[in-house]
Structure 1
């Protein structure tokens, strides 16, 4: 919202300077975004008079002028063709920065004659884009008068942010009311006198869509003489960035910003039949004042006559009934429109207008006819003519409900110690009606422009804002001596530990959408392959489904890296996935993908299934999972490459993690043209570790005896997972068997087609004494017996 300082003072009796106004606005909650003071930029320039001129002795196109300035008589060299004796113009002393040319004046000789200043053109002052010579001012101006005052550019422009709940701030009168309540001046309340009609209104109006347009007022004005607006009106509009069009249109624009009351004016000679506020019909369209054609639909409110739509109600009128200098009869409209419908229509059409900006926030319902009277008076004063009677159809909404208010609420909610008289004064200056019903008890009549006030807390907010938030008391927070309670849940801490573990091992974290396309979700089992949990109102056509796997966007991100020449990467993400719309269908996962070749002076290496498996095990161990109890199986779901992937399970049913190569068909469907390795850890499937009584570490149980190792080679069925054999051997004697490692797998000569040889290294750690050969043999026998239960035989 923009306005000028002089415009504000039309409604506020104050001698406050611009800095004082800006400070008062900020303290009252009107957030100033920008301000511009032309007088500040031109403060070094002033009015001067050329007393005499003489030809420059060394240049044909230069003159040496004797100039009367605020600094006395000065000799100035000037090349302007219009420089002449008796001319009043603008003078810049030495040391002045000239904005149009970007130079700072210095005492420099011009063809042998020193110029003691400069006579300026409009382009050099940046008051015009180009000029033929120096400025020519009205004769008789005071010498030394500031240039801004002489040029009419001494009016500062203020731009501030209007919050959606305060549409009354979209008019200069509303801003003046706030500043008057803040103590900056006295509000000038001018009564708007109704203009009596001198003839019956020949135009009929009606409402067919009261849910969109509850009230419609209008009147005919005949015999008007349209033309350019007077200078004061044109200057006001130009200052806030509006282009003057003609007097009739400029009056409605002025009232829109002056009183936050949008109006519309029609050339009455171009109207046919009854003016109707109705919903648009399918297939209708109209050419708006911005020269664009808009297609309409039945969700939009239009103002129409017998020929069809004249414009979108409360948003923008049409070209077909616009006013021109040939207009002699006009119909003036002042109506109310439903804010929500205005916002929806503007979103569909993309139209942004000053009327739409106000109607979608809610205009003053009590100013419908008053605004019509104000516009009528201005039209008659500036354009002449005769006004008809006013017509009003529909029902103007009643004023907001009264609020029962106890003044003690101010201290209770804010801690501010304000007297009842100060509270009453603030409310009265803001326009609220006050009826005292006893000590500390009031009934507050809410004005029609403040429909945001519905309870005592709203009044307290206004009182505190006007009284000054700097008066809020400072109170020390109470000491809390109770033991500190951890703010992070165990499940949250587990995610943090997992992310840290992957980062330490060289993985980079990403953040992606929880949405994906139905086609990609179907590849990862969304809704049993049917596309997943589909959104009713997606933000984009390719983000219309909640992801069933976090691998989707990671794979797409990997391909984008490859496309840009970054083929080596390891990316992971911690976030939710969605299996359905039930309360337990959202799961927390950590997923990752990797690809690339690491160059090394010995030999190149690339990540494989086992390196990904190692990283997943390290992450699970960092999160407190006992990885020794995990079962490793080869079976994986359809998006994993068979034979090159695996699954970690807790028992036969609970899947903790999946890892391995992504299936080539899935990569092809996603447009990924390179093999990818990945993993997905399902955090909700991991049991939470029990809280320990103390946080101290257990005593170090390190044996002083040397460990020993024994190698075993077992012949097993080819389909037996090596992990099952390792787990069986490790559980033979947990007290002394500390580690079991697979070091060899052989398939070929000497074995059947369905047999392989697995080589295990078993590390045995004695504690109390060195083990005898008999004891070692006993452990070996137990290992062989445990393996035999799985169908394995010693090779």
Structure 2
């Protein structure tokens, strides 16, 4: 919302400076964004005198001028047709900013001739629309005189943000009222002229949609001579960024900003019958004043005559009934439109306007006739003619709102001590009517729809009295917040996240919901996990596992050119709607080969990568990894031959790992294997030792001994069984057992494979002798042979 200082002073009698006015506006809650002072923009511009002018040697339309300026004689190349000797001009030196062309002047060569500065037109300095030539100033003006001293007083423009709770401040009158209440001046009375009517209003006006347009008022003025509006009105509209059109249109724009009272004018000769506010009909179209065509429907309030739609009520009129220089008889509309209907229509059509901005925030419903009277007076004074009576169809929703207000409310809510006499003075200045008593009765003015209760009235008093006067108190120092040790589940979540991040996975945070099709890949979907009111169709069920959402994220990354995706999420998985039906799962996903690099194999992820990561997460959260058993039971959604489960005992499944079934990866447009793992954090047994202290560090003093064995082992038997048998053959000395190679081929019987296994022996009390090592080796071979393994020679 913009307005000029002189415009404000039409309503406010004040001697306050511009700075005082702006500072007061900010104090009372009117958020000033910018102050534009034309005098500052013109500060570098001064009077110059053209001593000599001659044709440019290389350009017929350019002239090289010698100009006397405050900086001495300057050579300026100018293309204006009136650039000649003997005239006084508006001189802008090098370094000056020219607002009309948004340019800061620099030294220049124009067709090889140096030019130091500029002689400006009125449009270039935003002092008018003349651009046919440079400004010619009064011949008596002295060289060097600031241009601002010659063009008269310049009107500063104040731009402030209208907050949603103050629709009345869309008019200058309300701003003046607030400033007067704050003591910055006196509010001038607003005179509503009595326009004498000479005939009855001849155009039938009706409202057929009282919910969308409760009241529709009109006045007819005939015999007008439309043309340009007066200079004062044009200057005000131009200053706030509006383009003057003609008097009939400019009046409606002026009153919209002056009193937050949108109006519209119709050329009566272009109407067919009466004017009606009604709901639109399917198939109706009209061409709006922005030269675009719009289709309306039954949810939109339109203004129509007996034959066609004239415009959208409260938003924008149409070209078919617009006023131009040939208009002689005009109907002025002043109506009240439902804010919600206006907002819905504007959003549906993507159509914005000053009228929509005001109507959808709420205007004064009691201003219908006042707006018509003021508009008629301005038109009659400038365009002549005679006015009709005023007719109003329907009834404006003027609500008499009286609030019980105890004057102690200000202190109770804000801590400010405001004398009752000052409170009454403030409220009266803001347009409230106060009836004093034990608890005051305060009548709310019709232009303040935001005031609903006594707290709102107390806010008005505090705002005008000065929020800078709010008492301040230092809060008492609080003691340090008690430290709380994380619960076991919290600690496990943190440890799992840290473990997966250290493995090179990136954390994802996805919805707890997923789509029905994605969930069906991994689990059945009982009715309990279906949402009654999903936020979208593809988030219709609680996820049985985070995998569908991680797969969707991987698919989107792959579609955007990612070569590999490494993601993890720790979150809920759901089987039913009971507390036990929610589990906390640490899930990881690996897809695609890594970036091409001579330091790595660049291999695609496999079931073994998933298994390794699942075991690493289990170890991080305190699971007994050495007691885990691997089962190859089929898991829904996983590849049946490349997946498995990690269990603690035959029934307690702590993790699932493996590659996904090809049908699943295809459903998500992923090529190649996708390795995943899921660790059930809640199923890991709680540690028996609940002490918070860590166990003592156990570092052996003696060097370990490493021995390698190669066993022929049947293809149909898991290698893990052999590793565990070797591990248990000598628990005191064997510290680690690791499979490091698998060989099939020449020298290995069919149906078997050669497993190369490294065994680490860690002595504790004394260095091992050869006989000790041989004894352990014999136990290892014996344990392997019990499982059907043969030491390879």
Check whether TM > 0.5: yes
Please name the residue that 2:620 is paired with.
622
Question: Is residue 2:86 matched to residue 1:90?
Answer: no
Please name the residue that 1:254 is paired with.
254
Question: Is residue 2:290 matched to residue 1:290?
Answer: yes
Please name the residue that 2:281 is paired with.
281
Please name the residue that 2:105 is paired with.
103
- Once the two structures are TM-superposed, the CA of residue 752 in structure 1 deviates from its matched residue by 10
Please name the residue that 1:593 is paired with.
589
The CA deviation string for residues 354-413 of structure 1, in whole angstroms up to 9 with x for no partner, is 111112212222223222222222222222222222222323224363222233333333
Contact kept in structure 1, 2:53 and 2:84, CA below 8 Å: no
Contact kept in structure 2, 1:732 and 1:783, CA below 8 Å: no
Please name the residue that 1:267 is paired with.
267
Question: Is residue 2:469 matched to residue 1:467?
Answer: no
Please name the residue that 1:351 is paired with.
351
Please name the residue that 2:245 is paired with.
245
Q: Closer, same or farther in 2 for the Cα pair 1:297/1:149, shift >3 Å?
A: farther
* Cα distance between partner residues in 1 of 2:227 and 2:253: 15
Question: Is residue 2:563 matched to residue 1:567?
Answer: yes
Contact kept in structure 2, 1:712 and 1:759, CA below 8 Å: yes
Q: Closer, same or farther in 2 for the Cα pair 1:443/1:734, shift >3 Å?
A: farther
Contact kept in structure 2, 1:251 and 1:375, CA below 8 Å: yes
Q: Closer, same or farther in 2 for the Cα pair 1:651/1:244, shift >3 Å?
A: farther
- Once the two structures are TM-superposed, the CA of residue 233 in structure 1 deviates from its matched residue by 1.6
Please name the residue that 2:361 is paired with.
361
Please name the residue that 1:642 is paired with.
640
The CA deviation string for residues 41-94 of structure 1, in whole angstroms up to 9 with x for no partner, is 21122356x5x8457799998687786x8x699798786663567745324578
Aligned to 1:388, what secondary structure does the other structure show?
strand
Please name the residue that 2:693 is paired with.
696
- Once the two structures are TM-superposed, the CA of residue 288 in structure 1 deviates from its matched residue by 1.9
Please name the residue that 2:498 is paired with.
500
Question: Is residue 2:234 matched to residue 1:234?
Answer: yes
Contact kept in structure 2, 1:400 and 1:451, CA below 8 Å: no
Contact kept in structure 2, 1:641 and 1:660, CA below 8 Å: yes
- Once the two structures are TM-superposed, the CA of residue 745 in structure 1 deviates from its matched residue by 7.2
Question: Is residue 2:36 matched to residue 1:36?
Answer: yes
Please name the residue that 1:329 is paired with.
329
Aligned to 1:404, what secondary structure does the other structure show?
strand
Q: How does 1:755-774 map to 2 (within 5 A)?
A: none
Q: Which moved more, 1:622-631 or 1:121-130?
A: 121-130
Q: TM-score, structure 1 length as denominator? A: 0.81
* Cα distance between partner residues in 2 of 1:41 and 1:315: 35
* Cα distance between partner residues in 1 of 2:721 and 2:593: 31
* Cα distance between partner residues in 1 of 2:3 and 2:725: 84
The CA deviation string for residues 86-132 of structure 1, in whole angstroms up to 9 with x for no partner, is 745324578856676633689x9xx99x9998754447646689945
- Once the two structures are TM-superposed, the CA of residue 592 in structure 1 deviates from its matched residue by 3.5
Contact kept in structure 2, 1:436 and 1:443, CA below 8 Å: yes
Contact kept in structure 2, 1:784 and 1:793, CA below 8 Å: no
- Residue ranges of structure 1 left out of the alignment (5+ in a row): none
Q: Which moved more, 1:490-499 or 1:327-336?
A: 490-499
* Cα distance between partner residues in 2 of 1:487 and 1:448: 58
Please name the residue that 2:178 is paired with.
178
Please name the residue that 2:23 is paired with.
23
Contact kept in structure 2, 1:287 and 1:319, CA below 8 Å: yes
Please name the residue that 2:3 is paired with.
3
Q: Closer, same or farther in 2 for the Cα pair 1:586/1:449, shift >3 Å?
A: farther
Q: Closer, same or farther in 2 for the Cα pair 1:458/1:793, shift >3 Å?
A: farther
Please name the residue that 1:443 is paired with.
441
* Cα distance between partner residues in 1 of 2:462 and 2:389: 45
Aligned to 1:160, what secondary structure does the other structure show?
strand
Q: Closer, same or farther in 2 for the Cα pair 1:571/1:735, shift >3 Å?
A: same
* Cα distance between partner residues in 2 of 1:118 and 1:348: 49
The CA deviation string for residues 478-516 of structure 1, in whole angstroms up to 9 with x for no partner, is 233365244977655544433332222222334567777
Q: Closer, same or farther in 2 for the Cα pair 1:564/1:339, shift >3 Å?
A: closer
- Once the two structures are TM-superposed, the CA of residue 256 in structure 1 deviates from its matched residue by 1.4
Question: Is residue 2:13 matched to residue 1:13?
Answer: yes
The CA deviation string for residues 129-180 of structure 1, in whole angstroms up to 9 with x for no partner, is 9945431246677887643464578223333322222211211222222333
- Residue ranges of structure 2 left out of the alignment (5+ in a row): none
Aligned to 2:234, what secondary structure does the other structure show?
helix
* Cα distance between partner residues in 2 of 1:322 and 1:646: 78
Q: How does 1:691-770 map to 2 (within 5 A)?
A: 695-700=692-697
* Cα distance between partner residues in 2 of 1:546 and 1:237: 58
Q: How does 1:181-580 map to 2 (within 5 A)?
A: 181-399=181-399, 401-438=401-438, 441-481=439-479, 484-486=482-484, 491=489, 494-510=492-508, 523=521, 527=525, 538=536, 550-552=546-548, 554-555=550-551, 557-558=553-554, 566-574=562-570
Q: TM-score, structure 2 length as denominator? A: 0.81
* Cα distance between partner residues in 2 of 1:745 and 1:446: 89
- Once the two structures are TM-superposed, the CA of residue 278 in structure 1 deviates from its matched residue by 2.2
* Cα distance between partner residues in 1 of 2:67 and 2:431: 59
Question: Is residue 2:176 matched to residue 1:167?
Answer: no
Q: Which moved more, 1:166-175 or 1:411-420?
A: 411-420
Contact kept in structure 1, 2:530 and 2:540, CA below 8 Å: no
- Once the two structures are TM-superposed, the CA of residue 190 in structure 1 deviates from its matched residue by 1.2
Note the aligned Cα RMSD (angstroms): 5.0
* Cα distance between partner residues in 2 of 1:160 and 1:9: 17
- Once the two structures are TM-superposed, the CA of residue 251 in structure 1 deviates from its matched residue by 1.1
Q: Which moved more, 1:118-127 or 1:54-63?
A: 54-63
The CA deviation string for residues 590-633 of structure 1, in whole angstroms up to 9 with x for no partner, is 44433324634586655432233323332343344554565543
Q: Closer, same or farther in 2 for the Cα pair 1:200/1:424, shift >3 Å?
A: same
Q: Which moved more, 1:637-646 or 1:220-229?
A: 637-646
Q: Which moved more, 1:345-354 or 1:359-368?
A: 359-368
The CA deviation string for residues 261-291 of structure 1, in whole angstroms up to 9 with x for no partner, is 2222222223233433222222222222222
* Cα distance between partner residues in 2 of 1:491 and 1:14: 68
- Once the two structures are TM-superposed, the CA of residue 670 in structure 1 deviates from its matched residue by 2.2
